[in-house]
Structure 1
Amino acid sequence: MLQIVFLHPDLGIGGAERLVVDAALALKSKGHRVSFLTSHHDKSHCFEETKDGTFSITVVGDWIPRHVGGRFHAAFAYLRMIFTAFYLALISNLKPDVIFCDQISACIPILKYGTGAKILFYCHFPDQLLTKRQSFFKQIYRAPLDWLEEKTTGMADLVLVNSHFTAKVFKDTFTSLKSLETHILYPSLNTEVFDDAKQTYGKYHIKRDAFPSDATCIFLSINRFERKKNLSLAIYAMAELKKLLSDAEWNSVHLAMAGGYDENLAENVEHFHELQDLLGKLDLSGKVSFFKSVSSTAKMALFKSASAVIYTPSNEHFGIVPLESMYMEKPVIAMKSGGPLETVDNEKTGFLCDENPISVAEAMVKFIRYPDLAKEMGSAGKQRVKTHFSFTSFANTLNGMILSIV
């Protein structure tokens, strides 16, 4: 039995957070002692497993600001994690055998030499590719952070990536690490958690006025309210869909948009209002309902109501939503790029579309006019998740990797 400590910047709600929570559950199921250190954990905005006592969670350095005047988010994120690493190395009573670190690699040297533990770094996607360099000042500001990311990532004892797509991007981005061996560990679903939640979703009732009474075909979008998630594509697709349908068909269609929403994040607030404004411009008011930071049981209820799920991010490094959708027996309409190329079986468990509203709308039409198609693809999707992305396989693979570096 090993002592394993997870360092993660913010234990909120998102794909990266779901991954680390599932990894912690997997390693705990193998008999290891698991703890979390994080710089932020809001119990009103997190996954249930991080607030029900399943894990020991210590919050460190939350007093350090996230930004100054809306700027320098990356620098302060690095600073918060470096402070957390010093806390683990110098103050904490934890004596980890392995440290699971993700998103921010700058803390790896402190962890490696300050604790003597083996370091596993999970690369969801290179951090330097998640921000635009629109000005000379931004390029200068990011240069030392990019250098630090590359150098410190290479110091980990084991580097994991979430897909073949990310593995290629990793090699292309970190040119000095081309000889570094990366290992692919696909994110998985803890299907037991899904099954437990599925048993209780009847306790959660979506208000009847959330959807029109004649809405018999509901499309569901689940993603954080961030611009990079390309949520507006689903709304533009609705506008194109209207052109393809008869009045009766159009009256039966509704779009539900659910996702992580943090009032403390300016982008979440701003983008939410942008999407609402877009509905007005496209004359789609009444055709779209929003659900902020839904619980697991609420999400199950939304899945139950949906005919299909629309996954809009382009070049997404993996994307856990398609797996969730398929396991819940809902077909997926996703972009023909990034992770969905490895998770969605085109024309069998859903449709992979070009990144434009017309292509998405044409896929939506098929589920409206051929209702049995959703059932057929949904059944195939669940089997695909069980075969290729099972939690048991994920847990065994991760545990084997942990033992190999120890």
Structure 2
Amino acid sequence: MLHCLHAHFAAPVCVGFVEEASFGKLFATDDLIDLGAGSRLPALAIARVLHAFHGRGARVAASYPTRLFSGSYAPLANRGFGHGRSIYYCHTPPRFLYDLRDHYQAHFPPWQRPLLAALRRWLQPRYEAAVRSMDVVLANSRNVQRRLQDYLGVASRVVYPPVDTDRFQWLADDGYFLSTARLEPLKRVDMLVRAFKRMPSRRLVVSSGGSELARLKALAADAPNIQFPGWLGDRQLAELIGRARATIYVPVDEDFGMSPVESMAAGKPVIGVAEGGLLETVADGKTGILLSPQFGEEDVVAAVLALDPNRAASMRAACIHRAERFSSTRFLKEIGAVLHCG
């Protein structure tokens, strides 16, 4: 999204830190303001980014008449400047403060949990005050719009994020099913691995990485039909999607979810879950199959077996048409109207 906005509006971009592996060389040096707040320790990284946006980030923001904040921590740079407009594009209120509080507490290393608790106490009132002080609040989905209303009592309008739909195309049906979700507990990729172990004649390709990689590889060690090529570059990933029969994406209450839209842009149906942002992107029975939020391995098996070559091909045109609802062109038109007119 940042690259899309920068390329269209030629505006400087201020970030908490830069990771070359994901950020690359998307921005010219003169256009990128790096606050340099990264860290390999999760709790410390959060603390450093918060401090950076609350301090130097606020000074940077004060020098511009229109300020678009995005992410969980950037809003702290909105300090009531008394001039111009402040707009917040919310991907989700920080879930470790709200609905996933217990999950994050359990998954942080024990010695970092007191720091996480202290961060919560410091961040929550400041985050809520910063969001309420925005001139305009945008949500990246109706799902996130509900969270903003439920947790903060803040009204917002929905502007779906941009997907570069032109980058994806239908290439072939090579018969495999593809997962591109990060390998983290909330993405439930372990359910897919277990399901495909019950279907040795069906292939699963897991193209991503994350904290669960070693565990999932061990789980699939006796399943030659499951492959882990790891993270791929944009071109390789687009080709992998374009040659799949379908993609599978079953996260817990996803904010929005770009992966299903990328899949549909290539004419590939999605096996998803009927909760979160997927209810807004995937049309059940038309561009994919949505499982119950309480799905089990047997439900994944049934959906995979139901998507034979003919049924997958029959959804191709509807998938491509559906994906255009979330294109970069549509996003720039909608965000431009907000920036220029309010």
Question: TM-score w.r.t. structure 1 length?
Answer: 0.73
Give me the identity figure in percent: 23
Q: For residues 46 and 55 of structure 1, what CA distance do their matches in structure 2 show?
A: 15
Per-residue Cα deviation, 1:165-214 (whole angstroms, up to 9, x for no partner): 1111211111xxx2x4301001232334x16xx69x9xxxxxxxxxxxxx
User: Do the aligned residues in 1 keep the contact of 2:180 with 2:206 (CA within 8 Å)?
Assistant: yes
Per-residue Cα deviation, 1:234-262 (whole angstroms, up to 9, x for no partner): 2122124x2xxxxxxx33x2111113x4x
| Cα 1:366–1:358 shift into 2, 3 Å | same
Cα root mean square deviation, aligned: 2.9
Q: Does 1:359 align with 2:336?
A: no
Which residue does 2:318 correspond to in 1?
380
Q: Does 1:278 align with 2:219?
A: yes
User: Do the aligned residues in 2 keep the contact of 1:122 with 1:159 (CA within 8 Å)?
Assistant: yes
Secondary structure in 1 matching 2:130:
helix
In the TM superposition, residue 72 of structure 1 has moved relative to its aligned partner by 4.3
Which residue does 2:252 correspond to in 1?
314
Letter in 1 for 2:260: P
Which residue does 2:232 correspond to in 1?
294
Q: For residues 47 and 309 of structure 1, what CA distance do their matches in structure 2 show?
A: 26
Which residue does 2:85 correspond to in 1?
118
| Cα 1:79–1:109 shift into 2, 3 Å | closer
Which residue does 1:394 correspond to in 2?
331
Per-residue Cα deviation, 1:17-61 (whole angstroms, up to 9, x for no partner): xx3333434xx1xxx33121113223333367x15x498223222
Q: For residues 131 and 378 of structure 1, what CA distance do their matches in structure 2 show?
A: 39
- Select which of 161, 167, 177 maps to 2:145: 167
Which residue does 1:238 correspond to in 2?
196
Letter in 2 for 1:167: Q
Which runs of structure 2 are paired with 1:253-272 in the superposition (5 Å)?
Answer: 253-259=202-208, 261=209, 268=210, 270-272=211-213
User: Do the aligned residues in 2 keep the contact of 1:85 with 1:107 (CA within 8 Å)?
Assistant: no
User: Do the aligned residues in 2 keep the contact of 1:66 with 1:76 (CA within 8 Å)?
Assistant: no
User: Do the aligned residues in 1 keep the contact of 2:253 with 2:276 (CA within 8 Å)?
Assistant: yes
Q: For residues 256 and 404 of structure 1, what CA distance do their matches in structure 2 show?
A: 45
| Cα 1:119–1:113 shift into 2, 3 Å | same
In the TM superposition, residue 364 of structure 1 has moved relative to its aligned partner by 0.4
Letter in 2 for 1:60: L
Letter in 1 for 2:328: F
Which residue does 1:82 correspond to in 2?
54
In the TM superposition, residue 223 of structure 1 has moved relative to its aligned partner by 1.9
Q: For residues 78 and 253 of structure 2, what CA distance do their matches in structure 1 show?
A: 33
Moved more, 329-338 or 350-359: 350-359
Which residue does 2:69 correspond to in 1?
101
Count of aligned pairs: 329
Q: Does 1:22 align with 2:1?
A: no
Letter in 2 for 1:311: Y
Question: TM-score w.r.t. structure 2 length?
Answer: 0.85
Which runs of structure 2 are paired with 1:126-145 in the superposition (5 Å)?
Answer: 126-127=93-94, 128-129=97-98, 130-132=100-102, 133-134=105-106, 137=114, 139=117, 141-145=119-123
Per-residue Cα deviation, 1:277-303 (whole angstroms, up to 9, x for no partner): 2213xx32x222223332110111101
